[in-house]
Amino acid sequence: MEKDYTPPHYSNPHMDQTDINYPGPQAAYPPQAGPHAAPFQPPPYGFGHPTITVQPTMVPVVAQMAVVNLTDTPGRITCSHCMTDIITETEYINGLLTWLICGTLVFFFCWLCFWIPFCVDSCKDVKHTCPNCKNILRIYKRL
């Protein structure tokens, strides 16, 4: 190889810049930025349809209710069904404790006393209902 070798310069007659198609003044270029230049507005998309703007919407948030300790007395609570502030209605129903006391009395031959737990409200479970919509809110179980 020679030390002073330079590659030949290739010239192509088609590489002349006179045949390049530059866009003329009818081309839509964005205007040049400057102090008195109008802001660039892109052309509308589609066939002349206006651009769609989306408005923010309000999404309701459901707050989780705090559990109130409803025991054997009526309590103030917001009903989870009708969302009104109420004082619950209570109803005493026979539960596990009532039947255990009855079975214990029968087991120890107290045949004449087996019906007493069914008459005493402090042995029964308590059902809390809404006075407005009559739905069951809670059942307080003694055992």
Q: Is residue 95 part of a domain?
A: yes
Alpha helices in the chain (DSSP H): 96-107
Out of 29-33, 82-86, 92-96, 120-124, least confident range: 29-33
pLDDT of residue 57: 75
Q: Is residue 111 part of a domain?
A: yes
Percentage of the chain surpassing pLDDT 90?
46
H or E segment to which residue 91 belongs: strand 89-93
Structural domains of the chain, count: 1
How confident is the prediction for the chain on average, in pLDDT? Answer: 78
Which string of DSSP letters, residue by residue, matches 95-111? -HHHHHHHHHHHHTT-G
Q: Is residue 121 part of a domain?
A: yes
Alpha helices in 1-117 (DSSP H): 96-107
Q: Is residue 4 part of a domain?
A: no
Q: Is residue 16 part of a domain?
A: no
Evaluate the CA torsion angle 109, 113, 115, 117 in order and state its sign. negative
H or E segment to which residue 86 belongs: strand 85-87
pLDDT of residue 128: 96
Domain residues for the domain of 91 are 77-143
